[in-house]
Structure 1
């Protein structure tokens, strides 16, 4: 590992700051070591030698919190230019729903659903049709 690098970074920090603040300062070097193949247990041992004692679980939790904070704050702190929005093209006008007198045979898109929802239903005619169907069934049975 790079104990000397850790020591250099820690020498620039007030020794009275919290362990989490020290880990945040060491985070870039810790990530480099992890990407180079170092295991978290090895890093915990190195930190122990430098006087930052913590368990493996505490280190893992602190590291995940630092990563999470870095992910959420990256766009705010990045110096990269803000990407330009895509060029505005002519917005197509919405296609009006066709006049529907009967429900569509298949529902294939939201327009079909809206047509069914907005259909005018004559409840009296529907009742009469139901009664006529019942009468016909009774007549067919006899």
Structure 2
């Protein structure tokens, strides 16, 4: 049964701007319909009725609450023709297709080790203190 919308769940909160989803079918057509919606850690993308059977590719870009962008892609396979290809339309509303990106994909946004930001902070503090002390030493004789 072809899904009517796509649900992507992430491990952390998302900001409500800077996100994009594209769903491409095996025929090369785009099947997303309207803007996606972000609520906390979930992005929901309405979709048009799907077409021919085959592999559908989903490309997404979101921004985490800490400001880091996350881009990735997933795939799903439709085994029977969707409504747009003359397939049978179900009378019941189809359940959403919930696809969760793997944890390694979420970690791939920033390749720096976790301690790198601490090291950058310590080095920045040392640079500021060193500049202040040097400036004080150079201006001592001017008084």
Which protein has the larger Cα radius of gyration, Structure 1 or Structure 2?
1
Q: Which has the higher strand share?
A: 2
TM range (shorter): under 0.3
TM-score with structure 1 length normalisation?
0.24
Q: Which has the higher helix share?
A: 1
Determine which structure has greater relative contact order: mean sequence separation of CA pairs < 8 Å that are 6+ residues apart, divided by chain length.
2
